[in-house]
């Protein structure tokens, strides 16, 4: 899918923020509605009828909730029951939730009561620290991967949910710590607002004060805004359409005061395509190195280890990440090369650039080793967008050198997950076999990178020097990531 210049710029910037662990998400009701949950209008429809009002004519829904509580003598029981009725069922996770959960985003904020974000993060095998009341802010869950701030409460505790105008008015006192935490995150992280209407008074409170405090030094944030069309939200006549379109543009321009750039989309389905592209480009910054070796073919052991070491060092020094399964005869050189680059310039490179997933050597529980190895391969390869294949051999039971079927399986998983394969054929063994498979139908493996075909062909030449191989691999990775 081709994106306009503003969205292209956002994708590039947000991928960089992901790489620097500076990305955050703010999810509004629109993100949960895609999973089948109600929005505020639908939540309060029965409440409006009970008050003798029509929900389609009401815009100040916070006041509407307050009117109901007033009429009930301050009793929130029915509102609380509505939250339980509408959000207690765990609806299916959306594709947008899954993509965001897979990305290295450590901070989620939401005004939603449901548990879609939490469930998607659990599915992605992440440790979550959920904060839906003030007391939880002082505690930190050990080994957490991500914090989910639910600033209006959680379905599990409907009595504490922020619903009425009175609660909103008192929020800066009752939930002062949430406002402080959100203010800090908005100052230090790049937020992407999804499914948000920007009518929430709490968010407005924080944004307005940050706007005054930071003046021209605000951080850049982004939000998705669906372009208004004739027939949307009751705009049946041309006059209504023009009026609401004008108002939308004024709102979009006003968001710039807070450092929020609107990304205009024609349809909500575009959000998924944009998020997929963000994930795709981020993964391409991570290189999976697959290989194992008892025999190094035309190279002696020292030459081969130096080659792997220098290749890994250059990948890290070029600002990319490496994921590796510590393959026999290869893994230690990958780690040493990566750490050499990191420790040489700790101010510039980080251990976060190296992801090591050593294979288990013993049966765990009721899972046999082949099952565990398959799981490990799937988990490793999902991090990457590029796969380099080197050597690929092992000893069989008779102590004969054979091509490593594990490396072949890693190639199959890599292709299934859309990675770009770079087999270094001159290292021989399974890498050469993979090269032959790729070059038999290269358009199938490089559908959007046909320029790679003649370059990868060069790796089959036995007279290509090791420094030239490394230099060419790095140039390929850099060009893919442009």
Q: Find all residues with CB under 8 Å of 371, minimum gap 6, and list them.
A: none
Q: Which of 68, 132, 152, 309 is catalytic?
A: 152
**Distances, alpha carbon 96 to alpha carbons 35, 199, 275, in Å:** 10, 22, 7
Decide: 109 and 182 in contact? Cβ < 8 Å: yes
Buried b / exposed e over 26-36, threshold 16 CB at 10 Å, is bbbbbbbbbbe
**Distances, alpha carbon 312 to alpha carbons 117, 284, 307, in Å:** 35, 16, 9
Catalytic residue status for 152: yes
Decide: 14 and 190 in contact? Cβ < 8 Å: yes
> Measured in whole angstroms, how far is the alpha carbon of residue 292 from the centre of its chain?
31
Distance, in Å, from the CA atom of 32 to the CA atom of 194, rounded to the nearest integer, reads 10
Beta-strand relationship, 393-395 and 401-403: antiparallel
Distance, in Å, from the CA atom of 94 to the CA atom of 437, rounded to the nearest integer, reads 36
Q: Which token pair is 104?
A: 């290295």
Name the helix (H) or strand (E) containing 221: strand 221-226
Q: Find all residues with CB under 8 Å of 215, minimum gap 6, and list them.
A: none
Decide: 63 and 231 in contact? Cβ < 8 Å: no
Distance, in Å, from the CA atom of 289 to the CA atom of 312, rounded to the nearest integer, reads 9
Q: Phi first, then psi: what are they for 4, rounded to 5°?
A: -75, 175
Decide: 160 and 170 in contact? Cβ < 8 Å: no
**Distances, alpha carbon 53 to alpha carbons 76, 233, 429, 472, in Å:** 19, 19, 75, 69
User: Which of 139, 473, 108 shows the shortest CA–CA distance to 314?
Assistant: 473
Handedness of CA 98, 178, 128, 286 (dihedral sign): positive
Distance, in Å, from the CA atom of 267 to the CA atom of 232, rounded to the nearest integer, reads 11
Distance, in Å, from the CA atom of 99 to the CA atom of 328, rounded to the nearest integer, reads 33
SS3 198: coil
Decide: 394 and 328 in contact? Cβ < 8 Å: yes
**Distances, alpha carbon 310 to alpha carbons 144, 288, 415, in Å:** 34, 15, 26
Q: Helix count (H) and strand count (E) of the chain?
A: 21, 14
Catalytic residues: 152
């Amino acid at each position: 899918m081709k994106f306009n210049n503003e969205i292209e710029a956002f994708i590039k910037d947000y991928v960089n923020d992901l790489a620097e662990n500076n990305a955050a998400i703010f999810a509004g009701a629109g993100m949960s509605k895609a999973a089948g949950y109600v929005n505020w209008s639908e939540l309060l429809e029965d409440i409006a009828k009970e008050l003798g009002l029509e929900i389609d004519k009401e815009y100040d829904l916070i006041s509407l909730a307050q009117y109901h509580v007033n009429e009930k003598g301050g009793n929130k029981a029915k509102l609380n029951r509505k939250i339980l009725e509408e959000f207690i069922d765990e609806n299916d996770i959306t594709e947008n939730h899954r993509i965001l959960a897979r990305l290295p985003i450590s901070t989620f904020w939401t005004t939603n009561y449901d548990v879609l974000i939490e469930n998607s993060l659990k599915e992605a095998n992440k440790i979550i620290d959920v904060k839906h009341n003030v007391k939880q802010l002082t505690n930190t869950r050990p080994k957490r991967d991500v914090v989910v701030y639910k600033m209006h409460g959680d379905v599990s505790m409907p009595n504490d949910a922020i619903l009425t105008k009175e609660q909103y008015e008192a929020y800066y006192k009752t939930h002062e710590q949430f406002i402080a935490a959100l203010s800090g995150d908005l100052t230090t992280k790049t937020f992407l607002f999804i499914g948000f209407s920007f009518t929430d008074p709490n968010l407005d409170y924080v944004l307005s004060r940050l706007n005054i405090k930071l003046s021209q030094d605000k951080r850049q944030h982004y939000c998705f805004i669906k372009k208004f069309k004739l027939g949307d939200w009751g705009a049946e006549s041309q006059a209504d359409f023009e009026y609401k379109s004008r108002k939308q543009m004024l709102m979009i321009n006003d968001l710039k005061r807070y450092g929020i750039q609107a990304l205009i989309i024609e349809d909500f389905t575009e959000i998924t395509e944009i998020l997929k592209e963000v994930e795709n480009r981020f993964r391409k910054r991570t290189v999976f190195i697959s290989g194992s070796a008892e025999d190094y073919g035309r190279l002696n052991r020292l030459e081969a280890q130096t080659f792997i070491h220098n290749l890994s060092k250059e990948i890290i020094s070029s600002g990319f990440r490496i994921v590796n399964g510590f393959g026999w005869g290869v893994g230690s050189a990958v780690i040493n090369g990566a750490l050499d680059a990191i420790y040489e310039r700790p101010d510039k490179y980080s251990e976060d650039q190296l992801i090591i997933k050593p294979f288990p050597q013993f049966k765990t529980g009721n899972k046999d080793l082949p099952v565990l190895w398959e799981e490990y391969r799937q988990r490793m390869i999902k991090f990457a967008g590029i796969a380099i294949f080197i050597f690929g051999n092992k000893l069989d039971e008779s102590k004969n050198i054979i091509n490593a079927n594990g490396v072949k399986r890693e190639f199959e998983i890599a292709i299934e997950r859309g990675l770009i394969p770079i087999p270094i054929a001159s290292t021989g063994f399974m890498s050469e076999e993979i090269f032959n498979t790729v070059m038999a139908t290269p358009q199938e493996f490089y559908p959007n990178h046909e320029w790679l075909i003649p370059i990868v062909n060069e790796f089959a030449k036995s007279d290509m020097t090791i420094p030239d191989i490394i230099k060419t691999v790095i140039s390929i990775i850099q060009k893919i990531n442009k």
